[in-house]
Structure 1
Amino acid sequence: MPEDPRVLIRDPEPGDEAAWRHLWSGYVAFYEASVPEAVTAQTWARILDPDSPVFATLARLDGTVLGFTVSVLHPSTWTSAPSCYLEDLFVAPQARGRGVGRALLDDLVSRAKQNGWSRLYWHTKATNETARRLYDRYTQADGFVRYRLSFPA
């Protein structure tokens, strides 16, 4: 399917919560994960808090929210400018292949350049070939391997 030039990217507003939560549940299910309701509510609250380093963008097409990003802006030990970690990117299955993911990434790249961020980075599962085809259009995987320890809250 060709990219749709009508895809609009914008910051979330309080009234977008239901649409974001619907996509969020699809994202969590895609990764076969479980996120407690309290964490989901806290994530949404952080997204709306202008003092939080967590921020999001929404992709809309014909008035419907079809995708989102959630990112964290943080200091870096390797540069004096902040880095942006794109923690979550999701596009509704019915909207894939229409340029929604690309529009979300293009928006973050533009924000990075406009705001003087030192880098924008993300990761995905090695088996997520659909996402990797999009990501490879921006940059090649850097060869780092992720390690993660989890601790009960």
Structure 2
Amino acid sequence: MTSPGEPWVVSEATQRDREAWTRLYTAYAASAGDELSDAHLATVWSWILDDSAGTSCLLLWRDDRPVGLAHWRRFERPLAGTVGCYLDDLFVDERLRGRGGARELLRHLAALAADHGWTTVRWTTGEGNPAQHLYDSVAERVPVITYDMAPADLSSSG
């Protein structure tokens, strides 16, 4: 996939990438304090391989080794009347951070969005994420607050 002179290659995940994806996604979850079950991993992987599902996965390669991933999906923007790309997860192996891999994944998503005529690439991040300096250099920080409501919360509160 790459030679030492070509540090980063980005490709869509394929069936043969399951083991590499599992290693990367498990490391991503662990960095967020989560542990993923085999059933969880199987579900997400099935979404990635199913063209009718919403989730897609890019893998980042360096020296023929998978070293990062990005899970993304298209989303409709009713108020704008357009379509965008939502980045759910972005991860680069901690040993290679700060060398341009995350930027390359973001560049690839921006190009993909442009190719499809989508109007934005959007993501959220934690307040203390050290990658914010990168995000601030490639995207506009917007004043939006995100909420997560459990399905039963409103119906059980009376």
Aligned to 1:86: 87
Aligned residue type for 1:125: G
Contact persistence 2:57–2:71 (CA under 8 A): yes
After TM superposition, list the pairs within 5 Å mapping 1:92-131 onto structure 2.
92-128=93-129, 130-131=130-131
**What is the CA–CA distance in structure 1 between the aligned matches of 2:143 and 2:77, rounded to whole Å?**
20
Q: Which moved more, 1:63-72 or 1:131-140?
A: 131-140
**What is the CA–CA distance in structure 2 between the aligned matches of 1:151 and 1:16, rounded to whole Å?**
34
**What is the CA–CA distance in structure 2 between the aligned matches of 1:140 and 1:101, rounded to whole Å?**
17
Q: Which moved more, 1:4-13 or 1:103-112?
A: 4-13
1:79 Cα deviation (Å)?
2.7
Is residue 63 from structure 1 mapped to residue 29 from structure 2 by the alignment?
Answer: no
The normalised TM-score by structure 2 is 0.87
**What is the CA–CA distance in structure 1 between the aligned matches of 2:34 and 2:137, rounded to whole Å?**
27
1:143 Cα deviation (Å)?
1.9
1:5 Cα deviation (Å)?
4.3
**What is the CA–CA distance in structure 1 between the aligned matches of 2:86 and 2:48, rounded to whole Å?**
14
Match of 2:138, SS state, is coil
Contact persistence 1:79–1:118 (CA under 8 A): no
Percent of residue pairs identical: 28
The runs of 4+ residues in structure 1 deviating greater than 4 Å are none
Structure with bigger gyration radius: 2
Aligned residue type for 1:83: G
Contact persistence 1:59–1:104 (CA under 8 A): yes
Aligned to 1:51: 52
1:47 Cα deviation (Å)?
0.8
**What is the CA–CA distance in structure 1 between the aligned matches of 2:77 and 2:119, rounded to whole Å?**
8
Question: Over aligned residues, Cα RMSD in angstroms?
Answer: 1.6
Looking at both structures, which has the greater relative contact order when contacts are Cα pairs under 8 Å and sequence separation is at least 6? 1
The normalised TM-score by structure 1 is 0.89
Match of 1:52, SS state, is coil
Size of the aligned set, in residue pairs, is: 148
Which residues of structure 1 form unaligned runs of 5+? none
1:35 Cα deviation (Å)?
3.4
